[in-house]
Structure 1
């Protein structure tokens, strides 16, 4: 430590600190404008000048390192006069036409001017120098009249987002910030994350959608409802309406950072399409037969008692007539842990079936199955902060990280830029993150196993395997060795299309830059060999010894806000909460004793089995919470047919979705801003979701709705629970539900709303109230004891190109939309930037098809249907491959995809579809 004196106070400082950092740690305030703790020091604004005994003149405290024995003054008459002069100079070029109260509150410049006794209005420029709001970006308001050239926006874009949109143009008094080569922000490849706004100290950059919104009446910290990153931020509320989202620097995952959807995609909450009243089909209220399979008749608004009683009567009737397995329950990765727990309890205790599942079946069921088998836990092993701080190399495979998990993608870019981490990307497309990679392995779709086995072949060939780790911590290695020897580099190159020399280069990168961390998403999981893909990646990391250490591990990135939590809560047909198998006698007895009813010990049906089972009558009724299978399941036309066959269908939603067409009862739930509970992010971090506004209309909390249905079914039926600790459904709030979860779920045993609200950041497993949580899994030993090597076998996708369907389509998301698009298509700014489906087509294929300025659309046909959409001619895709998304109903990629399933996880193969393409 370094000893110094600041304002006569003895201070101990780290040798690496600056004077400003030493002062801040000692609770001594030094004025700053260009400085921010998240950004590299600049020293340009001169507000942080301090006096150092023996120094020639004043020094900038944000750039001057501490030294032993320093004597520093941070405030005296000379410094105050210097700062006043600086502020007057800055204000002389500053002009604010509106100068609203909220502007002054958020402006560090105005606050410091007032602190030093200046009248900001008197010191301001009398005329504007620049036009206001000249950029077409629908999210970012630009007013260069307020800019003081602190460059925080430039540094934030470069160092936080890694996008390099902002720069400086001209010199002297004419200096000003510009986007790109003095073009629009979107032309300069802005991702509209709003980081520049969050770090701007003057309001020169602001949030355009809320530029005229009044000062917030309250701010509520909550967790984002979009992807699995788990960003926290503040909801700014006025008159029971969210008017803006602002950064919360204490957010454990993201700090000041968010993506475009998190910061600007909130207006769906107040969209006029919101469901606000229970609705029932007219034929049900009149006791008549359904009009037809394809037409369920008119909707009629009704009261809650009518709707809930009708549901209970129908469910009891189907359960008693056809058996509990005639009913299916879909829970939701969009909803809280507490709500998912109740859906699991509803299916098992109230209905008496294990037919409960959710959309993890469609995204990461192969991850859960693969990692649970090889490691004993099907979850991400290392937090992103650990990986970005400690990994020396990374492999991203099957993950378009910067678009699907934008904040994590930006953090990976930071790790590459700041720490020179060696990044290898394996992806059939040239996704944006490849620009930061030292190596792009561009494999053919569906050849991931061959690729990873080929890498392991080279590791063994070179003798790079971690023999000590393999011997001490794993089993089954010889079987994998024998399998891997079937994948020499030449064969792998032939299968994947990757040059042999690139395979060797990748291995050298991983071995010479250990530890290495692996990331993947649905490019790995959504295949008929999805589980084997996961086996291969687990084998690779065990072979290199990259488990139970900082900067290593296997890290599947969850696609939805609470897909990890929904799995944890037992919204799966084979496990109770905490992955306690329904086929295990001890687990069955535990939950029978807790819930007071006998339970079944056979595995239930999955999402991808329950819907097709409507055709033969095995599934008679469905209760779906917050899922939209018409948009998200493969082979849309077949899904529609299956839903037409349903006898009775209850849908609990926030909007009348594409699936609502087939529902008999529609129950209005609430959005994330209207509820309190928890989400578990992709890192296994459990975080609070806090209610900020009252529900719209007659919409109700989702946990309340499920509880009410459950109580009515129990009252009507003959499956009445015996006295048991958790048999009842008389919950008063979600906190009570979390206490029940903790009591029955060992990995959540120490997690409570009280601990989370007190600011603790808890990763499961967290077995008791004194446990700090477990950020890194498998330290010392794997959850299953020894890690299990399992051979992964390459097989061709279920559908290969042929003469009739000569091209391959792969699918995924785009940065401006999420999942089936029900929320993002109702966010005004997101639709302004990306308002229609686009299909990525290579330049060579575009030329062959005759695409030009006049002919811009393509028709894509598979064996299951056709869509027509705008073509985006881009080198992101190679010749013979197209990329489509599923955000827009009329041209969703899932109209074309096939319901071929992985035999273990039952996940569909979305990523490889044989198609024909023609100009439209």
Structure 2
């Protein structure tokens, strides 16, 4: 049971923004707070390129303070807003017609939907004025290249998947994909969020985004040197091998369900390692589930609040795990680059590293040999062999990943290469990432895909003007060769530079490699070669494609519509708890969902249960503070960082506060539609308008007015504790990923007496 929600990987990188971007369109992100180093690059782009910074956010953030244009949007209306921009762009013929014609499929449906979103209707729905919509559409269309930046403010909605689709569609319309200074630069808030996603902190895939189908499992069994049947027998029954697990968002429902609805059993034990449980929504339900568990294990360097908010007295174990300074290995940055980190000190006192905890666990349950076997293996003459009796950590772990994870191209990420980059970081240009001297011909951190140990990495995705050997590629062929009789491959006008094949071509498989590449395999190669490029342990497909200047995943059109999704083309749907019942009737949410990640999810039944805005009239917006991150477990143990924000608070407009007779610094109760409440300090601020409040999600230790600090083991209580905003985060989850609707909800304000 795990989930790290993908907001998408950066197509470009921060240095590229500094070097080339003429406009930066930031929506649903406040990188001045969540990623200050990234924001430094945006400010450099303003200085260096006179780049215009456009910030779209419900709150006047620190990023907005540096913007050339700030647009205050109503939360949960991002799709409508982008359609409003597209309406102007299409109406004036400002779209990149050639790019759309040659490299995109399904744009006609987008164009039709955009016709509905006049400036007046967009303004009515989003709260952004018609004049600003026209102004920004004009600026984006006439300023090239332009890059789009987003983060959690886009993904954390019941329509998060549509949000993350409509923004790349905007870039496709303007022809900014695959271009220097363009693309979509999605900001991760922590240094290895991209890596944790790539490595399967997800409940619906294997490492590297391999699916849960039999072919993927058999590939991994082979790559790990294991018998497939042995692997299958680790499951309660074979069918669960191919089913999604419980998501991190709704794992609690797997505990509280009264019967085996979609699983073999309710969840009875929870192991928490490397995740702030209180950074999840529905904290009251989390607490209820924690109380009901048979076993709770916390493996963290700091006390995770999961051990604090529960009333459970027995069978709660806290294992001291070392920090990142006490171990060694690689992390994957927001721009798809890998960075090697060397251990600073040995684990202190009784603590162990994450991997040692996992090794001990595997030994206890009798599968240590199988767990570590792949680290002793290598591909020799196209075949996988066990070549050593003992493994070297972490080098052999890194080499194992490089050997196995082909889908995103980690073949070049060997420990040897990553160490060389760490040792010679000064030989790389921070703007282009290009290496010099002994590192010439490589990009810093080998941004994936780095197909082989000779490949330099790919700083800009989907760049057909660069040879494959230097990081170029077209769009990936993932969805077949045609749809509704329309080819999904581009014509010869879209040829990857230096490629033997002109125009589009399919992903390369054992069955088509000879025909597509125009070659003949030897009988030995035919015996060794894998079914397709993703499962070819021999490396023959990659080798033959490299010789032909061909990208293994094909060269296809981007698709603007997804025929397997509830909304084939992104649509505006009102938040589950909307302040506008008139718009709920016009733009309703989805029908209720059955069995997604083993649970049912309410959509329309929740939205239509009542006019929520009558009882809960104030919009609820969450935010970060620069001195805390996630649940704040680590930072709140620092008296210096805690001094900056010593207690939980909410930004409230003085006009709204005074309507409730609340003075600056008064305590107030915030009530949610789910019947939960939190007690926080009112902090006057005009950053928010009188129709909404904004509060950080970085606190824990109080639950609905109850101080839980007695549950901290002696000497571990942080300097700052408080209510978690997620106790009142409204019910709502994305229909595809199940990410909670953190950033669109309602609340009721009541002054706290006494």
For 1:633, the equivalent position in structure 2 comes to 280
Query: Does the Cα contact within 8 Å between 2:396 and 2:415 map onto a contact in 1?
Result: no
Distance verdict in 2 for CA 1:517–1:621, change over 3 Å: same
The answer to whether 1:756 aligns with 2:408 is: no
The CA distance in 2 between the partners of 1:899 and 1:851, in whole Å, is 27
Distance verdict in 2 for CA 1:582–1:879, change over 3 Å: same
1:646 to 287, 290, 293: 293
For 2:249, the equivalent position in structure 1 comes to 608
The CA distance in 1 between the partners of 2:167 and 2:102, in whole Å, is 19
Describe how 1:312-351 pairs up with structure 2 within 5 A.
328=1
The CA distance in 1 between the partners of 2:133 and 2:149, in whole Å, is 18
2:361 to 709, 734, 737: 709
For 2:347, the equivalent position in structure 1 comes to 695
What's the secondary structure of 2:197's corresponding residue? helix
For 1:744, the equivalent position in structure 2 comes to 404
The CA distance in 2 between the partners of 1:899 and 1:672, in whole Å, is 34
- Cα offset, 1:720, TM superposition: 12
Structure of higher CA gyration radius: 1
**CA offsets, 1:678-706, max 9 Å, x none?**
11111011001221112111111111111
1:523 to 153, 170, 189: 153
For 2:745, the equivalent position in structure 1 comes to 913
What's the secondary structure of 1:451's corresponding residue? helix
The CA distance in 1 between the partners of 2:17 and 2:157, in whole Å, is 27
- Cα offset, 1:385, TM superposition: 0.8
The CA distance in 2 between the partners of 1:715 and 1:466, in whole Å, is 56
What's the secondary structure of 2:338's corresponding residue? strand
For 2:196, the equivalent position in structure 1 comes to 566
Query: Does the Cα contact within 8 Å between 1:493 and 1:500 map onto a contact in 2?
Result: yes
The CA distance in 2 between the partners of 1:913 and 1:690, in whole Å, is 43
2:727 to 867, 877, 895: 895
1:819 to 630, 635, 641: 630
Distance verdict in 2 for CA 1:603–1:638, change over 3 Å: closer
The CA distance in 1 between the partners of 2:87 and 2:368, in whole Å, is 62
What's the secondary structure of 2:147's corresponding residue? strand
1:733 to 390, 393, 401: 393
Describe how 1:57-76 pairs up with structure 2 within 5 A.
none
The CA distance in 1 between the partners of 2:642 and 2:389, in whole Å, is 41
Describe how 1:377-776 pairs up with structure 2 within 5 A.
378-583=8-213, 585-595=214-224, 596-598=226-228, 599=232, 600-616=241-257, 617-629=265-277, 631-661=278-308, 664-714=316-366, 731-746=391-406, 747-759=409-421, 760-776=444-460
Structure 1 gaps, min length 5? 1-327, 329-356, 368-377
The CA distance in 2 between the partners of 1:754 and 1:711, in whole Å, is 29
- Cα offset, 1:656, TM superposition: 2.3
Distance verdict in 2 for CA 1:407–1:729, change over 3 Å: farther
Structure 2 gaps, min length 5? 233-240, 258-264, 378-383, 422-443, 465-473, 478-555, 562-568, 580-612, 703-722
The CA distance in 2 between the partners of 1:716 and 1:540, in whole Å, is 49
- Cα offset, 1:789, TM superposition: 0.5
**CA offsets, 1:195-249, max 9 Å, x none?**
xxxxxxxxxxxxxxxxxxxxxxxxxxxxxxxxxxxxxxxxxxxxxxxxxxxxxxx
What's the secondary structure of 1:455's corresponding residue? helix
Describe how 1:128-147 pairs up with structure 2 within 5 A.
none
The CA distance in 2 between the partners of 1:648 and 1:730, in whole Å, is 34
- Cα offset, 1:597, TM superposition: 3.8
The CA distance in 1 between the partners of 2:196 and 2:733, in whole Å, is 21
- Cα offset, 1:833, TM superposition: 1.7
- Cα offset, 1:828, TM superposition: 2.2
**CA offsets, 1:659-716, max 9 Å, x none?**
1245633222111111101111110110012211121111111111112212332359
The CA distance in 2 between the partners of 1:432 and 1:720, in whole Å, is 47
Query: Does the Cα contact within 8 Å between 1:614 and 1:645 map onto a contact in 2?
Result: yes
1:860 to 663, 670, 681: 670
What's the secondary structure of 2:162's corresponding residue? helix
The CA distance in 1 between the partners of 2:682 and 2:188, in whole Å, is 29
For 1:94, the equivalent position in structure 2 comes to none
- Cα offset, 1:575, TM superposition: 2.1
Distance verdict in 2 for CA 1:603–1:488, change over 3 Å: same
The CA distance in 2 between the partners of 1:825 and 1:872, in whole Å, is 20
Distance verdict in 2 for CA 1:473–1:719, change over 3 Å: closer
- Cα offset, 1:718, TM superposition: 12
**CA offsets, 1:751-785, max 9 Å, x none?**
12322222253211111111111111111221332
- Cα offset, 1:846, TM superposition: 2.4
- Cα offset, 1:721, TM superposition: 9.1
The CA distance in 2 between the partners of 1:450 and 1:512, in whole Å, is 21
Query: Does the Cα contact within 8 Å between 2:17 and 2:41 map onto a contact in 1?
Result: no
Distance verdict in 2 for CA 1:593–1:903, change over 3 Å: same
What's the secondary structure of 2:678's corresponding residue? strand
The CA distance in 1 between the partners of 2:132 and 2:639, in whole Å, is 44
Distance verdict in 2 for CA 1:743–1:718, change over 3 Å: closer
The CA distance in 1 between the partners of 2:420 and 2:371, in whole Å, is 40
Distance verdict in 2 for CA 1:778–1:692, change over 3 Å: same
| TM-score of the two chains, using structure 2 as the length reference | 0.69
What's the secondary structure of 2:659's corresponding residue? helix
The CA distance in 2 between the partners of 1:719 and 1:672, in whole Å, is 22
The alignment yields a C-alpha RMSD, in angstroms, of 2.4
**CA offsets, 1:85-127, max 9 Å, x none?**
xxxxxxxxxxxxxxxxxxxxxxxxxxxxxxxxxxxxxxxxxxx
The answer to whether 1:878 aligns with 2:689 is: yes
The CA distance in 2 between the partners of 1:717 and 1:433, in whole Å, is 50
The CA distance in 2 between the partners of 1:715 and 1:484, in whole Å, is 55
- Cα offset, 1:419, TM superposition: 2.5
- Cα offset, 1:729, TM superposition: 11
Describe how 1:28-427 pairs up with structure 2 within 5 A.
328=1, 357-358=2-3, 360-361=4-5, 365=6, 367=7, 378-427=8-57
**CA offsets, 1:170-209, max 9 Å, x none?**
xxxxxxxxxxxxxxxxxxxxxxxxxxxxxxxxxxxxxxxx
For 1:258, the equivalent position in structure 2 comes to none
The CA distance in 2 between the partners of 1:714 and 1:738, in whole Å, is 24
Query: Does the Cα contact within 8 Å between 2:11 and 2:185 map onto a contact in 1?
Result: yes
- Cα offset, 1:437, TM superposition: 2.0
1:788 to 534, 559, 562: 559
The CA distance in 2 between the partners of 1:579 and 1:715, in whole Å, is 24
The CA distance in 2 between the partners of 1:716 and 1:507, in whole Å, is 57
The size of the alignment, in residue pairs, is 547
- Cα offset, 1:623, TM superposition: 2.5
Distance verdict in 2 for CA 1:731–1:807, change over 3 Å: farther
The CA distance in 1 between the partners of 2:417 and 2:343, in whole Å, is 17
The CA distance in 2 between the partners of 1:407 and 1:715, in whole Å, is 42
| TM-score of the two chains, using structure 1 as the length reference | 0.57
For 1:798, the equivalent position in structure 2 comes to 576
Query: Does the Cα contact within 8 Å between 2:730 and 2:746 map onto a contact in 1?
Result: no
The CA distance in 2 between the partners of 1:597 and 1:648, in whole Å, is 31
The CA distance in 2 between the partners of 1:476 and 1:726, in whole Å, is 46
**CA offsets, 1:800-857, max 9 Å, x none?**
242211101111210111110111001221112221122111122123233336x533
Distance verdict in 2 for CA 1:740–1:582, change over 3 Å: same
